[in-house]
Structure 1
Amino acid sequence: MELKLSLKELVGGGYYDYWHDKHFYRVVKGSRASKKSKTTALNFIYRIMKYPWANLLVIRRFSNTNRQSTYEDLVWAISRFHVEHLFKLNPSLPEIIYKPTGQRIIFRGLDKPLKLTSITVSKGYLAWVWIEEAYEIESEDKLETLSESIRGRIDEPDAFKQITVTFNPWNEHHWLKRTFFDEKTRKADTFAITTTFRCNEWLDDGDRKRYLDLYKTNPRRAKVSCDGDWGVSEGLVFEDNVHMEDFDIMQKITECGQTSFGLDYGFGNDPTAFVAVAIDEEHKKLWIYDEMYAHHQTTPQTAEWIINHGYQNAHILADSANPERTQQLVDIGIINADSVQKTRVEAGIDQLWQYQIYVHPHCKNIWNEFNNYVFDTDKIGNTLNVPKDENNHAIDALRYAMRPFMQNYDNAVSVKWNEQYRIGEQMGVNY
């Protein structure tokens, strides 16, 4: 089926080369509101209708995040083309089928990597992969697994295989930078671009003004959010002792023998953050395995999340600035919630520096904070020895969770924690 369209009318400028590119790796790093996901969705719907031999595999780090992101974007693109009658939508899987040829758009997650290499299609070839929010993928090895899913020759005259990678700017130490953007180390057969909100003609004046104002209020953040530059690296509070690792949660809890839980209350634009961590005190290692990160959440809603995730009997060390909210948790049924004995932020950070910290891939919010939590600067840009009070809500929750392991902590609380919440008592918790 030949479809005539104007790219400018559909998505505006900034993506002409990307739209037509046929390199094996097609990569776009985009700032906020840069249209990268919407443009990619339009492009794949157009391609499915144009190339009857092609099927698409859409990947997120966790399969359950596809339904509210990539699937919805592709359904939107179908509507944008006014071709709803040509597609069969199955949101429960999810899956999309192009009815004239039987071509499929398949959605999967990297949480089940072995199943990716065995995907087969009955019509045509599995020719394309779209990796959305690729910064969530912790290693380049996972990319190689996806390459294997589209192995083999395609016997069509105009055929091409391609892996499309889309993501927001991330820390410059992330594997995406060296793999696709650094001249000396980038993969062969790669097309990579950076796009920004400036190529999004559909933003209204208010949206555009908010982005431009960021250059005045937070120029460091503007370089990432507005210019699509790589995330903050200079002045990071945590640099060498934080790692992302896909570990077996129950195995690690069993090996460590003890867990702890912290809660930082949010208000207004600040999120409420909960962190669960397994502590290997002998080897000075922390394994962060669960988190909650929610904006505009009431205390009863926080309690509901804690109960639904099996932490209602855990000893949760909460922000002492809001003792009334902790008491409300207790009244609701979180009977072991306590207000933590606070120390200076610097003391808590010094304590965390003494550990190697491993973050499970699904704890992306605290991982994001670790990669954006920086020391403050003075008016002329000199770095101070005080962390900036931003990007630290989950980190604060972690500091509270680690308070029992700080010297001179109240012995009664520490004994209570160790006796009641060692691993033998935790096996009834849903991890």
Structure 2
Amino acid sequence: MISAAELVIPRFHDVLGDVMAHGHTHYWLYGGRGSTKSSFISVAIVLVMLANPEANAVVVRRFSNTLRDSVFQQMTWAIAALGLEKWFQARISPMELTYLPTGQRIVFRGADDPLKLKGVKFTKGYAAITWFEELDQFDGVDAVRSILNSLRRGGDRFWIFYSYNPPRTLWSWVNREKLERERRADTLVRQSSYLDVAESHPEWLGAPFIEEAEYLRGVDETAWRSEYLGDVTGTGGSVFNNVRAVRLSDAQCRGFSRVRNGVDWGWFPDPWRFVRCGWEPGERRLTIFAEQSAHRKTPAETGQMVVDALTYADEPGRDAFLHDEIVWCDDTPDGKQSMAVYRRELGLRARPARKSNMRRLSYEWLAGLREICIDPARCPLAYEEFRLKEYMRDRDGTWVDEIPDGNDHSIDAVRYAVMDDVLRG
């Protein structure tokens, strides 16, 4: 009898258990070369089908001419490895695998032929399983969502698998979407690499593969991390190389002796943004621990959001009260009017950040800190902006010493919050 656990590395054992228990709907698996994420998914798909007689699978790649030599071969490998060859029938045109006892099917489609995707029908059951292989090649999350909208019909339990090697560029849509997926309760995110395979099954890789990986590790560690570990290393143009993800407790958020608050004004499409930070000058560490964002809110409404954020108890069990903290704000003409509302109607100590000609200097001050710690759960918008901010490129793709504007509302709010410290520094 073949054990499925013997076909996947220990890194995926708990993921396989979660898949079989339907612990999540989405499984976001990324990593480097030789990480066996595709092998794991192919095994998981077959097992889910065997356990759910109504489940059919659709395997999708960006281009249909890549299906036969990649995912089709991968799925036939999984069937053979599980000892189920005599129970499945393979066809090439149309490309599909049929489980003979029930008539369940695994079909293969390219996203470059949307009519064939929309035309996927099953005589028995529904498309319970979808696998997007080489996800980074798709035209963005909207294209993926459109495909899912076509397929997710006729049932109430779905398994969606995504697999890819992360592009180096921080602003690639899959790298941005991965940050969002880490916050979603319906998604399990897992990174894997050849190192996970080498620990338990080095024979699956072979000595030449490992030797090549270790050679690259010695001569170009950044390229090795990108290619073999699946790390998002960036392309060398990151503005902030000092960002660190941390998880903060409520007690830690209350424990900062120097708190900085900042507001970046906005209406629509630019958002209004508010952040709270803890500043530790001796450690040269800034911790961003709270944020608020809004569209189409009046100054009175956003001011109340600030009041709510500053109203808390210093210790558990004590009464909450409004803390009299300075709120540093963008000093635009409209901002001055909004600050007047904050002060007059809500009693907030709203002050203009002296930002004149300070954009570049404040960016350099933040980039020069020892650490910018951000809680991704509490401050997902700030975490994404700081992680992904890159310098500008010229037409030839060469980095230039200029920081582009846009996608920086949380960064701006943080800059205003610490502008007084920047000026003193």
- TM-score between both structures, scaled by the size of structure 2: 0.51
Aligned pairs (5 A) from 1:23-42: 23-42=24-43
- Distance in 2, matches of 1:123 and 1:180, equals 34
2:210 maps to 208
- Distance in 1, matches of 2:233 and 2:147, equals 25
Q: Is 2:196 aligned against 1:189?
A: no
- Distance in 2, matches of 1:103 and 1:183, equals 30
Aligned pairs (5 A) from 1:56-67: 56-67=57-68
- Distance in 2, matches of 1:109 and 1:117, equals 11
SS at match of 1:68: helix
2:196 maps to 199
SS at match of 1:14: helix
CA separation of 1:183 and 1:133: change in aligned 2, threshold 3 A: closer
- Distance in 2, matches of 1:140 and 1:15, equals 25
Aligned pairs (5 A) from 1:73-152: 73-152=74-153
CA separation of 1:17 and 1:181: change in aligned 2, threshold 3 A: farther
Deviation at 1:116, TM superposition (A): 2.3
Aligned pairs (5 A) from 1:1-400: 5-19=2-16, 20-21=18-19, 22=22, 23-154=24-155, 160-170=157-167, 171-182=169-180, 186-200=183-197, 201=201, 202-235=204-237, 353-354=394-395
Task: Answer yes or no: is the 8 Å Cα contact 2:35–2:196 preserved in 1.
Answer: yes
Task: Answer yes or no: is the 8 Å Cα contact 1:180–1:190 preserved in 2.
Answer: no
User: Which sections of structure 1, spanning at least 5 residues, go unmatched?
Assistant: 237-351, 356-369, 376-382, 385-431
Task: Answer yes or no: is the 8 Å Cα contact 1:25–1:189 preserved in 2.
Answer: yes
User: Which sections of structure 2, spanning at least 5 residues, go unmatched?
Assistant: 239-392, 402-425
In the alignment, residue 29 of structure 2 is paired with which amino acid?
V
- Distance in 1, matches of 2:15 and 2:150, equals 23
Which string of whole-angstrom CA distances, capped at 9 and with x for unpartnered residues, describes residues 281-329 of structure 1? xxxxxxxxxxxxxxxxxxxxxxxxxxxxxxxxxxxxxxxxxxxxxxxxx
- Distance in 2, matches of 1:133 and 1:199, equals 20
SS at match of 2:191: strand
Which string of whole-angstrom CA distances, capped at 9 and with x for unpartnered residues, describes residues 222-252 of structure 1? 111222101533249xxxxxxxxxxxxxxxx
- Distance in 1, matches of 2:205 and 2:100, equals 34
Larger radius of gyration: 2
The sequence identity of aligned pairs, in percent, is: 30
- Distance in 2, matches of 1:84 and 1:176, equals 35
- Distance in 1, matches of 2:87 and 2:181, equals 42
- Distance in 2, matches of 1:11 and 1:161, equals 22
- Distance in 2, matches of 1:118 and 1:92, equals 15
SS at match of 1:37: helix
CA separation of 1:187 and 1:145: change in aligned 2, threshold 3 A: farther
- Distance in 1, matches of 2:38 and 2:145, equals 22
SS at match of 1:160: coil
Deviation at 1:153, TM superposition (A): 4.9
In the alignment, residue 127 of structure 1 is paired with which amino acid?
A
- Distance in 1, matches of 2:77 and 2:2, equals 16
- Distance in 2, matches of 1:40 and 1:205, equals 24
CA RMSD of aligned residues (A): 2.6
Deviation at 1:91, TM superposition (A): 2.2
Which string of whole-angstrom CA distances, capped at 9 and with x for unpartnered residues, describes residues 36-57 of structure 1? 1111111112222221110001
CA separation of 1:215 and 1:103: change in aligned 2, threshold 3 A: same
SS at match of 1:181: helix
